[in-house]
Structure 1
Amino acid sequence: MMMTGMAGWFHAIPHCGAIMFGGLGATAMTAIAWWRDCYIESDYGMHTEIVKRNLISGVWIFIVSEAALFFGLLWSCVHLGMSPNVWIQMQWPPVGIDAIGWEGRALVMSAVLAASYYSANVAMVAKDPKVVMAALGTTVGLGALFLADQYLEYSTAPFTLTDGPYGTTFFVTTGFHGFHVLLGSLWLAASMANYARYNKPTVSMKGAVLYWHFVDIVWIAVYGIIYAAQL
């Protein structure tokens, strides 16, 4: 529902925007309800070692499925960049597009995510509750900083989503990654609140850190292909 609405919205089909946001809302409500149930089960001691392993396995399966989506998005960038057709003057980036380079905000965003990768690791291995809370808070703060920097990049970009295949692939791919940064930040914030209650790592916290590492690693590919290689 969400993806169908998004496809129609990109083609200016009436009411598809409402369908897209309706699907997004339904997905968000389902995720929130599931996470709530997981927290309730944990409170009542229903998470045995087998359940914990299965939950982490579910996170890994989710990460693999998301990796496949990013592979498709990045492959479209590589394909268009390595074999431009006559419709874009056999050139990539197309004529008239002032591409965003690897320096500037993109480099700052890379440094921010690299720092967040380290702070997330500290949160997992530290024994002192104060250090864990500080590391989680730092990671969430760095995620917010990344999103703010991305917003500034979008607001000053010399092209838009509708500026041909380059604008579409750039904004969809980087925006999709930014959406994952937002989800990861919210998940880490929820894990931080949960850690404050129990003063010990939980399955949710481990899953959130795994997911955050995935988001950081995907950015390496996004930065290398879209910003550095200009594909």
Structure 2
Amino acid sequence: MKSLNNYNHPFHMTSNSPWPLIMSTNVMNLMLNIFIWMNFSNFIPMIMGMFSILLIMFQWWRDLIRESLFQGSYTTMIYNNMKFCMLLFISSELMFFISFFWTYFHSFLSPNIEIGMQWPPMNISPFNPFNIPLMNTIILISSSSTITWSHHAMLNNKYNSSILSMMSTITLSMIFMYFQYLEYSNSKFSINDSIYGSIFFMTTGFHGTHVIIGSIFLSINLIRMMNKQFSSHNHFGMEASIWYWHFVDMIWLFLFMLIYWWSI
């Protein structure tokens, strides 16, 4: 095989990897397993599919860490490209949530006759925004502060402070999800109660899914921090997770103001 040093470009030519094909196959399999769960109330295949995806993620990330950290294959150009790709990914996620907000505004500003020409629709009791939603807002704002503290500590080579603040952020995310579960459990309407129920649970549910994904990102970075795989000048995985977490916090602020507070 030709040595990478002989290529006249600043990019890293990756070796053959089975993980993209295996991951795509398992994602399709997970979708089919979700259909089985919804139609036949059998969630075992879905759990097995999620476990397979987590296992593939572990193997794939292991290879990436080996290439970037131990083999030193990533150049400045590659890191710049990864930063640009992460920004594009966050932008696509922003458009995803904008579609939900657009639907909400369309129904809120011009409610049709099928829902009583009022918003929230008739027989819908919305949540008190100054109860659990306000608590969750404070929790996420606090988590944004702790993750910024963790990044600042990493830049100043204060590893113990960085690890402690990262653990605080993950703990706050779990508290947020617990309160979200309590809110859903005490809801007086469901996802099939008019357009209000549908858009409310779709938006808050997908945001909760992003909180879970962001928590996984942060947990992986916490493990890497404990294994001394980051330094003050080489921690892009941590930075990308921080960008994603700030995005999740920003979406919740708009969600709280527009869906919880403005609709009462």
For 1:175 and 1:33, locate their aligned partners in 2 and report how far apart those are by CA, in whole Å: 29
Partner of 1:121: 148
1:214 to 236, 239, 247: 247
More divergent stretch after superposition (175-184 vs 189-198): 189-198
Superposition deviation, residue 205 in structure 1 = 0.5
Partner of 2:86: 59
Superposition deviation, residue 39 in structure 1 = 1.7
Partner of 2:164: 134
Distance 1:71 1:48, change over 3 A: same
Superposition deviation, residue 44 in structure 1 = 2.1
1:179 to 209, 221, 231: 209
Superposition deviation, residue 101 in structure 1 = 2.5
Superposition deviation, residue 196 in structure 1 = 1.5
Counterpart check, 1:200 vs 2:206: no
For 1:81 and 1:27, locate their aligned partners in 2 and report how far apart those are by CA, in whole Å: 39
For 1:27 and 1:217, locate their aligned partners in 2 and report how far apart those are by CA, in whole Å: 28
For 2:96 and 2:53, locate their aligned partners in 1 and report how far apart those are by CA, in whole Å: 17
Superposition deviation, residue 29 in structure 1 = 6.9
For 1:79 and 1:32, locate their aligned partners in 2 and report how far apart those are by CA, in whole Å: 42
For 1:154 and 1:33, locate their aligned partners in 2 and report how far apart those are by CA, in whole Å: 35
Q: Which has the higher contact order (CA 8 A, sep 6+)?
A: 1
Partner of 2:66: 40
For 2:223 and 2:92, locate their aligned partners in 1 and report how far apart those are by CA, in whole Å: 28
* CA offset digits 1:34-74 (Å, max 9, x no partner): 43332222232222222222112111111000000000011
Distance 1:223 1:32, change over 3 A: farther
Structure number with the higher helix fraction is 1
State the number of aligned residues: 224
Gaps of 5+ in 1: none
Aligned 8 A contact 1:124 1:206 in 2: yes
Distance 1:27 1:81, change over 3 A: farther
More divergent stretch after superposition (39-48 vs 147-156): 39-48
Superposition deviation, residue 200 in structure 1 = 2.0
Indicate the RMSD between aligned Cα atoms, in angstroms.
Answer: 2.8
Identical-pair percentage: 30
For 1:174 and 1:206, locate their aligned partners in 2 and report how far apart those are by CA, in whole Å: 25
Aligned 8 A contact 1:101 1:230 in 2: no
Gaps of 5+ in 2: 1-26
Counterpart check, 1:168 vs 2:222: no
Q: Normalised by the size of structure 1, how large is the TM-score?
A: 0.87
Structure 1 SS opposite 2:123: coil
